[in-house]
Amino acid sequence: MVLNVDQRRIQHVPPALGLLLWCALAAALVQLLLWRVAPNPRNFSPIFWYLLNAYDSHGNLLLLAIAVMAFLLRRQPVVAGLVRFAAQHPWRIAAGALPLFCLGAATVYRGYPLSMDEYVALFQAETFAAGRLSGQFPPELMRELVPRFPPGYFFFSSLHTGQIAGSYWPGFALLMTPFAWLGIPWAVNPVISALTLPAVHRLTLALSGSREAAGWSVLLVLASPVFVVSALSFYAMPAHLLCNLLYVLLLLRPTPGRALLAGVAGSLALTLHNPLPHMLFGAAIFGWLLWRRTPLAVLAALVAGYIPLFALLGPGWLNYLAGVPVGAVAAKTADPAATQAAAAGPLSARVSSLASSGLTLPTPKILEARIAGLSKVWTWGPAALMVLAAYGYAALREHPGAKALLAALFVTFAGYFLVPFDQGHGWGYRYLHSAWFVLPVFAAVAMVRLPDAEMRQMAGWAVLLSLLLANGLRLTQVDAFIGRQLAQVPPLARAADPARREIVFVDPAAGFYTRDMVHNDPLLRGTRMVMVYDGREAAAALMARRFPAYTRREAGKWGELWTE
């Protein structure tokens, strides 16, 4: 009898309390994971481990606090007018978000490509904006001007000619090119992210038929710090997300014309910087189309849409890079075998080397890294996002498009178990970002399909509080992190003086990821050059030989500053 009473009590847990308990359980599991990885038992890369430990606990605890506050406010009406406005005017929301994203990119992110992944895209965009395919450095200064990484890892460069080009596929750099030409390269992701808002509205409306749910999807995306911070960055991930979103939106009701456009969007996604994000996402959607016995004309149009742009920016770009001789501009600790493979002349040799080193069977380290990445989906989203997404999928599970989206999300997540890297730098879980939009779309459906009024009110407050508090915390963290990173090399924390030429030497062995701070214009325009520091004597000899009119102005463990 006692057992029967307990079961009845469990069955009658108020829905809002049930949502709170799910949030508490998720927060507890994430916190246990963060405690486990605190001593770095799997030897994660320093930046991946640091961001997990320095910031994600704070984000996790804040989301739990938001869930509690939302539960306490569950009987207070949510600001319904904001939801109605987002539902009726997604383009106005996008127009309002764009200047805020631009402001954040210029101030919080400082218009600065923090990681090498970001710098490579900016470098190549500035190269394209100058009307060239590769940059040009003085050959005798290549060892100092190019960041010290294994050849071909981030750049292909020649010690003999001074040619230098980014090793990533160039789609995202091309998107950034007009912004680089205007002198505002940091604006590319704000524009892409603003355009994502009406696109996610349209997808949610197509799936659910509810304009209210479409409005909630816009607010859920804006309440997600991973989306907002990525909108300020130089990463290609916002473009991956938008391209995949448009891809599936076009293929929900496929016709030959829509499939052709989807192929064009897919070809851009393939060539943004790395083909894997769209390969995984697109494979799931293509498999769904086959399972639904889509007409051959539609499939043929889809494939035809891929071919022109992919041929130009994929094999075409790799063929161009094959003509850039790879010199030994590398770190002294580079693996000789990897260096030799990267320097192999024929294109086929380089592609074969890349494929063989890029995929492997999962190791315990990678298994734990993927679980840690999954925790970032929770801590970098709005409160209750994954719980609400589960509710939303349950409400939509009979819709074939919902199954396709879930499959694409799952294949994207599972596919990276074969990638032997833990992600390294990045805000949130970068490896899932190309399919991340599936979660707020499903969660938005839950916002109008939840079975209980108090539960819906609680979920609404969770979204609105996350919009302010979760974003506020993460923006503060990112601002502090970039500020500390630049402060390691004081001259780089200041804007270059347009009236005085200077050379900043950066010691790649001093500080945290300082080798990522060797940034130069592809044609060395402007008044500042940044060089790799090989010690006081080597710097003095170089300056006496090449720049005798310069004088040492500052020195520290970070390196030296010389001015004309």
Residue 224's nearest CA partner among 437, 376, 382 is 382
Task: List the domain range (segments joined by +) for residue 127.
Answer: 109-184+316-357
CB 545 within 8 A of CB 551: no
Extract the tokens encoding 177: 């090119």
- Do 247 and 296 lie in one domain? The reply is yes
What is the torsional sign of CA 262, 125, 426, 228? negative
337 band by pLDDT with thresholds 50, 70 and 90:
very low
On whether residue 409 sits in a domain, the answer given is yes
On whether residue 123 sits in a domain, the answer given is yes
On whether residue 491 sits in a domain, the answer given is no
536 band by pLDDT with thresholds 50, 70 and 90:
very high
**Strand order of the sheet with strand 155-157?**
135-136, 163-166, 155-157
- Do 270 and 389 lie in one domain? The reply is yes
Contacts of 110 (CB under 8 A, 6+ apart): 482, 486
- Do 400 and 468 lie in one domain? The reply is yes
- Do 451 and 542 lie in one domain? The reply is no
On whether residue 93 sits in a domain, the answer given is yes
Q: Which residue among 420, 450, 484 closes a domain?
A: 484
Identify the pLDDT of residue 342: 43
Specify the range with the lowest mean pLDDT, choosing from 40-49, 146-155, 244-253, 478-487: 146-155
- Do 23 and 49 lie in one domain? The reply is yes
82 band by pLDDT with thresholds 50, 70 and 90:
very high
Is residue 67 scored above 70 in pLDDT?
A: yes
Identify the pLDDT of residue 79: 83
Identify the pLDDT of residue 13: 84
pLDDT in tens, 340-367: 344 444 445 445 544 445 678 889 999 9
Whole-number Cα distances in Å, 72 to 204, 325, 381, 458: 29, 64, 21, 8
The neighbouring-strand residues paired with 559 are: 506, 556
Count other C-beta atoms under 10 Å from residue 290's C-beta: 10
Specify the range with the lowest mean pLDDT, choosing from 31-40, 114-123, 336-345, 381-390: 336-345
What is the C-alpha separation between 450 and 388, in angstroms, rounded? 9
On whether residue 489 sits in a domain, the answer given is no
- Do 558 and 436 lie in one domain? The reply is no
What is the C-alpha separation between 277 and 270, in angstroms, rounded? 7
- Do 424 and 302 lie in one domain? The reply is yes
pLDDT in tens, 99-110: 999 999 999 999
**Average pLDDT of the residues in 444-468:** 94
- Do 262 and 389 lie in one domain? The reply is yes
Q: Which residue among 484, 509, 532 closes a domain?
A: 484
Please identify which residue in the block is written with the tokens 């995929």.
359
On whether residue 255 sits in a domain, the answer given is yes
Identify the pLDDT of residue 69: 97
Whole-number Cα distances in Å, 38 to 4, 78, 86, 240: 43, 38, 40, 31
**Average pLDDT of the residues in 378-386:** 97
* Residue 253: its H or E element: none
Identify the pLDDT of residue 112: 97
pTM over 0.85: yes
432 band by pLDDT with thresholds 50, 70 and 90:
very high
325 band by pLDDT with thresholds 50, 70 and 90:
low
On whether residue 490 sits in a domain, the answer given is no
**Average pLDDT of the residues in 303-326:** 90
Q: Which residue among 428, 453, 484 closes a domain?
A: 484
On whether residue 14 sits in a domain, the answer given is yes
- Do 213 and 229 lie in one domain? The reply is yes
- Do 370 and 443 lie in one domain? The reply is yes
- Number of compact structural domains in the chain: 3
Mean pLDDT score across all residues of the chain: 92
**Average pLDDT of the residues in 95-118:** 97
**Average pLDDT of the residues in 452-462:** 94
- Do 379 and 510 lie in one domain? The reply is no
- Do 230 and 307 lie in one domain? The reply is yes
CB 506 within 8 A of CB 531: yes
